[in-house]
Amino acid sequence: MTTLAILTAAGSGTRLGFDLPKALVPLRGLPLVLHAARRLTASGVVDALVVTAPNGLVSVMSDVLEHDPHVSVPVVVVAGGTTRQSSVAAGLTRARADVDTVVVHDAARPLAPAAMIRRVVETVKAGHQAVIPGLPVMDTVKILAPRGPAEDGRPVLPAGVDRVAATPARTLLRAVQTPQAFDRALLVRAHSAGAARARTEATAATDDASLVEALGEDVFVVEGDELAMKVTTARDFYYIEKLLTEDGR
């Protein structure tokens, strides 16, 4: 029985400010996707890798990954979809029959440590079918009331003003990261059931655990890692570059 990692790398990365797809932006001389792929394979718990590439860049992404001596597992690069959810679904179709566990990871989190990758995979292997890493939330979080016509005597709110509906306890909140790991059959079922959502960014799931939750199945959280932060803006990029320097790699 084997573990497949699907590495999503098809995003445009517009907010990052580079004239390149995000996954190909160089971080200390290496594309983000290569940093992420190296860490997945260095974990020792991934047996094969499927990478989703931006439209028209499959061969470019293949050249980056297939000739790197530090990516020590078989790699297949496929064209990604219009949303992250559809890209993961495309990657799932390339899973061999002997794959029992699927890891889904974002190239936008290039520094996810090997120990965290092992943690999510080993927890799935121990019998928990859907496992995600998460960090405690430091800020107070407010839940907003839906915007709509005036009710209960309240006036209609002007643009830019919202009403607080509730304040959840921070102890019950986690900021979720990737990689996320799943029993292969469960993840396939979740994507099949949620396929209609994948068509647009507005409706697509932002992570695979959400699709599993929609089935009514349990999702379990293990400890995340600050090094697994997501690169979205230029500020994130420069911060993660500093983290990489401090990490000594």
pLDDT tens digits for range 71-105: 999 999 999 999 999 999 999 999 999 999 999 99
Q: Pairing state of beta strands 180-183 and 99-106?
A: antiparallel
- Residue-wise pLDDT for 177-211, tens only, equals 999 999 999 999 999 999 999 989 999 999 999 99
In b/e form, how buried is each residue of 146-180, taking b as 16+ CB within 10 angstroms? eeeeeeeeeeeeeeeeeeeeeeeeeeebbebbbbb
Distance CA 190, CA 97 (A): 18
- Residue-wise pLDDT for 117-129, tens only, equals 999 999 999 999 9
Please report which confidence band the pLDDT of residue 114 belongs to, taking 50, 70 and 90 as the band edges: very high
Task: Select from 217, 225, 235 the least CA-distant residue to 128.
Answer: 217
Residue pair 239/245 in contact (Cβ under 8 Å)? The answer is no
